[in-house]
Amino acid sequence: MSRVYNFSAGPSCLPEEVLKECAAEMLEYGTTGQSVMEMSHRSKAYEPIIADAEAMVRKLMNVPENYKVLFLQGGASTQFAMVALNLGNKKGKAAYINTGVWSKKAIAEAKKLGIAVDVIATSEDKGFNYIPKVEKIEGDYDYAYICLNNTIMGTHYEYIPETGNIPLVADISSCVLSEPLDVSKFGVLFAGAQKNLAPAGVTLVIIRDDLITETPRAGTPTMLTYKTHADDGSMFNTPPCYTIYVLGKVLHWVEKNGGAEGMGKRNHEKADYLYNYLDNNDFYHATAQKGSRSLMNVPFLTKYSTGAADEASVAKEKEINDKFVKEAAAAGFVNLKGHRLVGGMRASIYNAMSFEGVKALVEFMKKFAEANK
Protein backbone atom coordinates (compact mmCIF):
# COMPACT_ATOMS: atom_id res chain seq x y z
CA MET A 1 0.00 0.00 0.00
CA SER A 2 1.50 3.31 -0.97
CA ARG A 3 0.65 6.68 0.49
CA VAL A 4 -2.44 8.40 -0.88
CA TYR A 5 -2.95 12.01 -1.93
CA ASN A 6 -4.87 13.33 1.09
CA PHE A 7 -7.12 16.36 0.46
CA SER A 8 -8.56 16.44 3.98
CA ALA A 9 -9.61 19.82 5.42
CA GLY A 10 -7.96 18.87 8.71
CA PRO A 11 -6.28 17.04 10.24
CA SER A 12 -4.48 16.90 6.95
CA CYS A 13 -1.38 15.63 5.23
CA LEU A 14 2.03 16.34 6.74
CA PRO A 15 5.34 16.47 4.84
CA GLU A 16 6.51 12.92 4.31
CA GLU A 17 10.07 13.67 5.32
CA VAL A 18 8.80 14.99 8.67
CA LEU A 19 6.87 11.77 9.28
CA LYS A 20 10.00 9.77 8.44
CA GLU A 21 12.13 11.81 10.86
CA CYS A 22 9.54 11.32 13.60
CA ALA A 23 9.51 7.60 12.90
CA ALA A 24 13.30 7.41 13.05
CA GLU A 25 13.34 9.22 16.41
CA MET A 26 10.30 7.45 17.84
CA LEU A 27 12.13 5.12 20.23
CA GLU A 28 15.17 7.23 21.05
CA TYR A 29 15.42 10.96 20.60
CA GLY A 30 19.07 11.90 20.14
CA THR A 31 21.11 10.45 22.99
CA THR A 32 18.27 10.62 25.51
CA GLY A 33 17.33 6.96 25.28
CA GLN A 34 13.64 7.86 25.27
CA SER A 35 10.87 8.96 22.96
CA VAL A 36 9.80 12.64 22.98
CA MET A 37 6.37 11.26 23.98
CA GLU A 38 7.85 10.02 27.23
CA MET A 39 9.78 13.11 28.30
CA SER A 40 8.96 15.45 31.12
CA HIS A 41 8.03 18.81 29.65
CA ARG A 42 10.34 20.40 32.20
CA SER A 43 13.36 18.25 31.34
CA LYS A 44 16.65 19.46 29.87
CA ALA A 45 15.93 17.31 26.82
CA TYR A 46 12.53 18.88 26.10
CA GLU A 47 13.38 22.53 26.79
CA PRO A 48 15.26 23.05 23.49
CA ILE A 49 12.42 21.38 21.55
CA ILE A 50 9.77 23.91 22.60
CA ALA A 51 12.28 26.78 22.44
CA ASP A 52 13.14 25.85 18.87
CA ALA A 53 9.46 25.59 17.87
CA GLU A 54 8.85 29.09 19.20
CA ALA A 55 11.98 30.46 17.55
CA MET A 56 10.89 28.97 14.22
CA VAL A 57 7.42 30.54 14.46
CA ARG A 58 9.06 33.90 15.19
CA LYS A 59 11.52 33.53 12.32
CA LEU A 60 9.16 32.25 9.63
CA MET A 61 6.29 34.59 10.50
CA ASN A 62 8.59 37.52 11.25
CA VAL A 63 6.89 38.03 14.62
CA PRO A 64 7.80 41.42 16.15
CA GLU A 65 9.50 41.50 19.58
CA ASN A 66 6.45 42.92 21.33
CA TYR A 67 4.36 39.80 20.64
CA LYS A 68 4.23 36.53 22.59
CA VAL A 69 4.05 33.17 20.84
CA LEU A 70 1.95 30.67 22.83
CA PHE A 71 1.23 26.99 22.39
CA LEU A 72 -2.18 26.30 23.91
CA GLN A 73 -4.77 23.53 23.97
CA GLY A 74 -8.50 23.33 23.36
CA GLY A 75 -8.25 23.88 19.62
CA ALA A 76 -9.06 27.04 17.71
CA SER A 77 -12.59 26.77 19.12
CA THR A 78 -11.34 27.63 22.61
CA GLN A 79 -9.88 30.84 21.19
CA PHE A 80 -13.41 32.01 20.35
CA ALA A 81 -13.92 32.28 24.13
CA MET A 82 -10.40 33.37 25.10
CA VAL A 83 -10.46 36.31 22.72
CA ALA A 84 -13.80 37.52 24.08
CA LEU A 85 -12.85 36.98 27.73
CA ASN A 86 -9.44 38.63 27.54
CA LEU A 87 -9.89 41.39 24.98
CA GLY A 88 -13.53 42.22 25.70
CA ASN A 89 -12.70 43.43 29.21
CA LYS A 90 -13.02 47.20 28.77
CA LYS A 91 -16.11 48.30 26.83
CA GLY A 92 -17.51 44.81 26.40
CA LYS A 93 -18.16 45.56 22.73
CA ALA A 94 -16.66 44.05 19.61
CA ALA A 95 -17.05 44.14 15.81
CA TYR A 96 -17.22 40.88 13.88
CA ILE A 97 -17.34 40.14 10.15
CA ASN A 98 -19.46 37.09 9.45
CA THR A 99 -18.01 35.01 6.62
CA GLY A 100 -19.43 31.60 7.50
CA VAL A 101 -19.42 28.76 9.98
CA TRP A 102 -16.24 29.59 11.89
CA SER A 103 -16.94 33.28 12.34
CA LYS A 104 -20.54 32.46 13.30
CA LYS A 105 -19.27 30.18 16.05
CA ALA A 106 -16.94 32.92 17.29
CA ILE A 107 -19.82 35.40 17.29
CA ALA A 108 -22.09 33.01 19.20
CA GLU A 109 -19.40 32.40 21.81
CA ALA A 110 -18.73 36.12 22.34
CA LYS A 111 -22.44 36.78 22.75
CA LYS A 112 -22.72 33.94 25.24
CA LEU A 113 -20.00 35.58 27.30
CA GLY A 114 -21.89 38.87 27.40
CA ILE A 115 -20.02 40.79 24.69
CA ALA A 116 -22.15 43.26 22.73
CA VAL A 117 -21.38 42.02 19.22
CA ASP A 118 -21.81 44.24 16.18
CA VAL A 119 -21.82 42.15 13.02
CA ILE A 120 -20.56 44.94 10.79
CA ALA A 121 -20.64 42.92 7.54
CA THR A 122 -21.73 39.51 6.32
CA SER A 123 -21.68 37.50 3.11
CA GLU A 124 -24.64 35.38 4.17
CA ASP A 125 -26.77 36.85 1.35
CA LYS A 126 -24.83 34.72 -1.17
CA GLY A 127 -24.26 31.63 0.96
CA PHE A 128 -20.89 33.02 2.11
CA ASN A 129 -19.26 32.56 -1.29
CA TYR A 130 -17.37 35.85 -1.08
CA ILE A 131 -15.59 38.15 1.40
CA PRO A 132 -17.35 41.45 2.05
CA LYS A 133 -15.26 44.57 1.45
CA VAL A 134 -14.74 46.39 4.76
CA GLU A 135 -11.63 48.43 4.28
CA LYS A 136 -11.96 50.39 7.51
CA ILE A 137 -13.40 49.45 10.90
CA GLU A 138 -14.21 52.31 13.27
CA GLY A 139 -16.15 52.53 16.52
CA ASP A 140 -16.07 52.06 20.24
CA TYR A 141 -14.86 48.47 20.15
CA ASP A 142 -12.49 46.46 22.33
CA TYR A 143 -11.49 44.49 19.24
CA ALA A 144 -12.48 43.61 15.70
CA TYR A 145 -12.62 40.00 14.53
CA ILE A 146 -12.23 38.24 11.19
CA CYS A 147 -11.72 34.67 9.98
CA LEU A 148 -8.99 35.16 7.38
CA ASN A 149 -9.52 31.88 5.55
CA ASN A 150 -12.87 30.13 5.58
CA THR A 151 -12.14 26.43 5.44
CA ILE A 152 -15.68 25.35 4.61
CA MET A 153 -16.71 28.03 2.11
CA GLY A 154 -13.27 28.21 0.50
CA THR A 155 -12.98 31.99 0.79
CA HIS A 156 -10.06 34.16 1.84
CA TYR A 157 -9.49 37.87 2.49
CA GLU A 158 -7.39 39.49 -0.20
CA TYR A 159 -7.04 42.57 2.00
CA ILE A 160 -6.60 43.28 5.70
CA PRO A 161 -9.17 45.71 7.13
CA GLU A 162 -7.71 48.92 8.53
CA THR A 163 -8.69 49.17 12.22
CA GLY A 164 -6.59 52.07 13.58
CA ASN A 165 -6.32 51.63 17.36
CA ILE A 166 -8.82 48.77 17.52
CA PRO A 167 -6.90 45.47 17.91
CA LEU A 168 -7.62 43.18 14.98
CA VAL A 169 -8.06 39.49 15.81
CA ALA A 170 -7.84 36.86 13.08
CA ASP A 171 -8.53 33.16 12.99
CA ILE A 172 -5.79 31.89 10.65
CA SER A 173 -6.34 28.17 11.34
CA SER A 174 -6.51 27.16 7.70
CA CYS A 175 -4.05 29.62 6.18
CA VAL A 176 -1.24 29.97 8.71
CA LEU A 177 2.11 30.12 6.89
CA SER A 178 0.45 29.52 3.53
CA GLU A 179 1.96 32.83 2.34
CA PRO A 180 3.58 35.86 3.99
CA LEU A 181 1.38 37.74 6.50
CA ASP A 182 2.19 41.01 8.25
CA VAL A 183 1.78 40.07 11.94
CA SER A 184 2.14 43.71 13.02
CA LYS A 185 -1.28 44.49 11.53
CA PHE A 186 -2.95 42.23 14.14
CA GLY A 187 -3.49 42.23 17.88
CA VAL A 188 -4.09 38.48 18.09
CA LEU A 189 -3.62 35.67 15.56
CA PHE A 190 -4.55 32.09 16.32
CA ALA A 191 -4.49 28.79 14.48
CA GLY A 192 -5.39 25.22 15.28
CA ALA A 193 -2.30 23.31 14.17
CA GLN A 194 -3.93 20.42 12.37
CA LYS A 195 -3.82 21.87 8.86
CA ASN A 196 -0.53 23.59 8.10
CA LEU A 197 1.50 23.09 11.25
CA ALA A 198 1.27 19.75 13.01
CA PRO A 199 -1.08 16.97 14.06
CA ALA A 200 -4.10 18.09 16.11
CA GLY A 201 -3.55 19.03 19.74
CA VAL A 202 -1.90 22.42 19.83
CA THR A 203 -3.19 25.90 19.04
CA LEU A 204 -0.72 28.57 18.03
CA VAL A 205 -1.52 32.00 19.49
CA ILE A 206 0.42 35.14 18.63
CA ILE A 207 -0.60 38.05 20.86
CA ARG A 208 0.65 41.62 21.23
CA ASP A 209 2.04 42.27 24.72
CA ASP A 210 -0.34 45.11 25.61
CA LEU A 211 -3.36 42.81 25.06
CA ILE A 212 -2.19 40.35 27.70
CA THR A 213 -4.28 41.63 30.56
CA GLU A 214 -4.18 40.98 34.31
CA THR A 215 -7.91 41.61 34.42
CA PRO A 216 -9.93 39.60 31.89
CA ARG A 217 -13.72 39.58 32.19
CA ALA A 218 -15.05 38.57 35.60
CA GLY A 219 -15.04 34.84 36.20
CA THR A 220 -12.49 34.00 33.50
CA PRO A 221 -10.85 30.68 34.43
CA THR A 222 -7.10 30.66 34.97
CA MET A 223 -6.58 28.37 31.99
CA LEU A 224 -8.47 30.77 29.69
CA THR A 225 -6.38 33.78 30.69
CA TYR A 226 -3.62 34.56 28.18
CA LYS A 227 -1.44 35.97 30.97
CA THR A 228 -1.31 32.57 32.68
CA HIS A 229 0.35 31.03 29.65
CA ALA A 230 2.42 34.06 28.64
CA ASP A 231 3.97 34.28 32.13
CA ASP A 232 4.88 30.61 32.11
CA GLY A 233 6.17 30.23 28.54
CA SER A 234 3.24 27.91 27.63
CA MET A 235 4.29 25.68 30.56
CA PHE A 236 1.64 26.58 33.16
CA ASN A 237 0.40 23.04 32.77
CA THR A 238 1.60 20.13 30.66
CA PRO A 239 1.70 21.30 27.04
CA PRO A 240 1.01 18.93 24.11
CA CYS A 241 4.70 18.04 24.03
CA TYR A 242 4.79 15.66 21.09
CA THR A 243 2.62 17.84 18.85
CA ILE A 244 4.91 20.82 19.52
CA TYR A 245 7.90 18.64 18.58
CA VAL A 246 6.27 17.74 15.25
CA LEU A 247 5.33 21.40 14.72
CA GLY A 248 9.01 22.32 15.06
CA LYS A 249 9.94 19.77 12.43
CA VAL A 250 7.21 20.99 10.06
CA LEU A 251 8.53 24.53 10.42
CA HIS A 252 12.07 23.41 9.55
CA TRP A 253 10.57 21.78 6.45
CA VAL A 254 8.83 25.08 5.64
CA GLU A 255 12.14 26.91 6.03
CA LYS A 256 13.93 24.43 3.74
CA ASN A 257 11.24 25.03 1.16
CA GLY A 258 11.61 28.79 1.07
CA GLY A 259 9.76 29.94 4.21
CA ALA A 260 6.47 31.84 3.96
CA GLU A 261 7.48 33.22 0.54
CA GLY A 262 8.31 29.74 -0.73
CA MET A 263 5.00 28.39 0.56
CA GLY A 264 3.15 31.31 -1.07
CA LYS A 265 4.74 30.60 -4.43
CA ARG A 266 4.08 26.88 -4.21
CA ASN A 267 0.49 27.41 -3.02
CA HIS A 268 -0.31 29.93 -5.75
CA GLU A 269 0.98 27.50 -8.37
CA LYS A 270 -1.22 24.70 -7.02
CA ALA A 271 -4.34 26.82 -6.55
CA ASP A 272 -3.96 28.58 -9.93
CA TYR A 273 -3.66 25.22 -11.65
CA LEU A 274 -6.82 23.86 -10.01
CA TYR A 275 -8.94 27.03 -10.37
CA ASN A 276 -7.81 27.40 -13.96
CA TYR A 277 -9.16 23.95 -14.73
CA LEU A 278 -12.38 24.58 -12.77
CA ASP A 279 -12.98 27.88 -14.61
CA ASN A 280 -12.36 26.45 -18.07
CA ASN A 281 -14.38 23.26 -18.34
CA ASP A 282 -18.10 22.64 -18.56
CA PHE A 283 -18.44 19.80 -16.06
CA TYR A 284 -17.17 21.34 -12.78
CA HIS A 285 -17.16 24.82 -11.31
CA ALA A 286 -15.65 26.43 -8.21
CA THR A 287 -18.15 27.80 -5.68
CA ALA A 288 -16.13 30.73 -4.29
CA GLN A 289 -16.22 34.02 -6.19
CA LYS A 290 -13.09 35.27 -7.92
CA GLY A 291 -11.36 37.84 -5.76
CA SER A 292 -12.28 35.94 -2.57
CA ARG A 293 -10.84 32.52 -3.28
CA SER A 294 -8.88 30.48 -0.79
CA LEU A 295 -5.43 29.18 -1.67
CA MET A 296 -5.98 26.28 0.70
CA ASN A 297 -9.57 25.02 0.41
CA VAL A 298 -11.21 24.64 -2.98
CA PRO A 299 -14.88 23.57 -2.92
CA PHE A 300 -16.36 22.64 -6.29
CA LEU A 301 -19.61 21.35 -7.75
CA THR A 302 -20.49 19.49 -10.93
CA LYS A 303 -22.99 20.49 -13.58
CA TYR A 304 -25.47 18.20 -11.82
CA SER A 305 -25.60 20.63 -8.88
CA THR A 306 -28.27 22.75 -10.53
CA GLY A 307 -29.94 24.05 -7.39
CA ALA A 308 -33.17 22.33 -8.49
CA ALA A 309 -34.98 20.88 -5.47
CA ASP A 310 -37.06 18.20 -7.23
CA GLU A 311 -36.41 14.65 -6.17
CA ALA A 312 -34.85 13.48 -9.43
CA SER A 313 -32.34 16.36 -9.58
CA VAL A 314 -31.35 15.94 -5.93
CA ALA A 315 -30.89 12.19 -6.42
CA LYS A 316 -28.78 12.68 -9.56
CA GLU A 317 -26.59 15.22 -7.82
CA LYS A 318 -26.03 12.91 -4.86
CA GLU A 319 -25.31 9.96 -7.13
CA ILE A 320 -22.62 11.84 -9.07
CA ASN A 321 -20.99 13.31 -5.96
CA ASP A 322 -20.90 9.92 -4.23
CA LYS A 323 -19.50 8.32 -7.37
CA PHE A 324 -16.79 10.97 -7.66
CA VAL A 325 -15.69 10.59 -4.04
CA LYS A 326 -15.71 6.79 -4.23
CA GLU A 327 -13.82 6.53 -7.53
CA ALA A 328 -11.35 9.20 -6.44
CA ALA A 329 -10.60 7.28 -3.24
CA ALA A 330 -10.10 4.08 -5.22
CA ALA A 331 -7.63 5.96 -7.41
CA GLY A 332 -5.68 7.22 -4.37
CA PHE A 333 -7.24 10.70 -3.88
CA VAL A 334 -8.92 10.72 -0.48
CA ASN A 335 -11.10 13.02 1.64
CA LEU A 336 -12.65 14.92 -1.26
CA LYS A 337 -16.23 14.89 -0.01
CA GLY A 338 -17.51 18.45 0.29
CA HIS A 339 -18.84 19.91 3.52
CA ARG A 340 -22.59 19.38 3.76
CA LEU A 341 -23.22 23.15 3.74
CA VAL A 342 -21.64 23.58 0.31
CA GLY A 343 -22.19 20.10 -1.08
CA GLY A 344 -20.19 18.67 -3.96
CA MET A 345 -16.49 18.21 -3.37
CA ARG A 346 -13.68 20.08 -1.63
CA ALA A 347 -9.96 19.75 -2.24
CA SER A 348 -7.89 21.11 0.63
CA ILE A 349 -4.43 21.75 -0.72
CA TYR A 350 -2.42 22.76 2.33
CA ASN A 351 1.33 23.39 2.40
CA ALA A 352 2.25 19.70 2.48
CA MET A 353 0.23 18.87 -0.66
CA SER A 354 2.56 18.77 -3.65
CA PHE A 355 1.98 20.32 -7.08
CA GLU A 356 2.15 16.76 -8.45
CA GLY A 357 -0.78 15.83 -6.17
CA VAL A 358 -2.92 18.65 -7.54
CA LYS A 359 -1.93 17.88 -11.10
CA ALA A 360 -2.79 14.20 -10.64
CA LEU A 361 -6.16 15.18 -9.14
CA VAL A 362 -6.97 17.34 -12.16
CA GLU A 363 -6.08 14.43 -14.47
CA PHE A 364 -8.48 12.22 -12.51
CA MET A 365 -11.18 14.94 -12.68
CA LYS A 366 -10.80 15.15 -16.46
CA LYS A 367 -11.27 11.40 -16.84
CA PHE A 368 -14.27 11.39 -14.51
CA ALA A 369 -15.90 14.26 -16.40
CA GLU A 370 -15.39 12.48 -19.70
CA ALA A 371 -16.96 9.27 -18.37
CA ASN A 372 -19.97 11.03 -16.80
CA LYS A 373 -20.77 13.91 -19.14
Ligand X SMILES: Cc1ncc(COP(=O)(O)O)c(C=O)c1O
* Window contacting ligand X (CB under 6 A); options: 19-27, 56-64, 167-175, 286-294: 167-175
- SS3 helix, strand, coil % of the chain, rounded to 5? 40, 15, 45
Based on the shown chain and the rule CB under 6 A, indicate whether residue 99 belongs to the binding site for ligand X: no
* Window contacting ligand X (CB under 6 A); options: 70-78, 107-115, 270-278, 283-291: 70-78
Which of 36, 69, 147, 230 contacts ligand X by CB under 6 A? Answer: 147
Scanning 41-100, the segments in alpha helix (DSSP H) are 47-61, 75-87
Encoded one letter per residue, x for contact with ligand X by CB under 6 A and - for no contact, window 15-54 reads: ----------------------------------------
Could you confirm whether 373 is annotated as catalytic?
no
Report, in Å, the least distance between residue 144 CB and ligand X: 17
Rounded (10°) CA dihedral 211, 217, 219, 221: -20
Based on the shown chain and the rule CB under 6 A, indicate whether residue 76 belongs to the binding site for ligand X: yes
Nearer to ligand X, 198 or 361 (CB): 198
* Other beta carbons less than 10 A from residue 258's beta carbon: 12
User: Which of positions 187-206 make contact with ligand X (CB under 6 A)?
Assistant: 192
Report, in Å, the least distance between residue 10 CB and ligand X: 5
Classify 190 as helix, strand or coil.
strand
- Catalytic pick among 68, 195, 249, 270: 195
* Window contacting ligand X (CB under 6 A); options: 42-50, 51-59, 168-176, 271-279: 168-176
The Cα 100–Cα 109 span in angstroms is: 14
Nearer to ligand X, 107 or 320 (CB): 107
* C-alpha distances in Å from residue 302, one per residue of 90, 291, 322, 340: 49, 21, 12, 15
* Window contacting ligand X (CB under 6 A); options: 14-22, 71-79, 91-99, 332-340: 71-79
User: Which of positions 169-188 make contact with ligand X (CB under 6 A)?
Assistant: 171, 173-174
The Cα 243–Cα 185 span in angstroms is: 28
CB-nearest residue to ligand X: 75
Could you confirm whether 253 is annotated as catalytic?
no
Could you confirm whether 112 is annotated as catalytic?
no
Residue 206 and residue 57 in contact, taking contact as beta carbons nearer than 8 Å? yes
On the CB side of 147, CA atoms within 13 Å amount to: 33
Report, in Å, the least distance between residue 151 CB and ligand X: 3
Based on the shown chain and the rule CB under 6 A, indicate whether residue 154 belongs to the binding site for ligand X: no
Residue 102 and residue 134 in contact, taking contact as beta carbons nearer than 8 Å? no
The Cα 97–Cα 121 span in angstroms is: 5
Based on the shown chain and the rule CB under 6 A, indicate whether residue 77 belongs to the binding site for ligand X: yes
Phi-psi region of 202 (alpha: psi -120 to 50; beta: other; left: phi over 0): beta
Q: Angle at Cα 161 formed by Cα 104 and Cα 175, nearest 5°?
A: 60
* Chain-centre distance for alpha carbon 100: 14
Nearer to ligand X, 22 or 76 (CB): 76
Based on the shown chain and the rule CB under 6 A, indicate whether residue 75 belongs to the binding site for ligand X: yes
Residues forming the site for ligand X (CB under 6 A): 10, 75-77, 102, 147, 151, 171, 173-174, 192
Active site members: 102, 171, 195
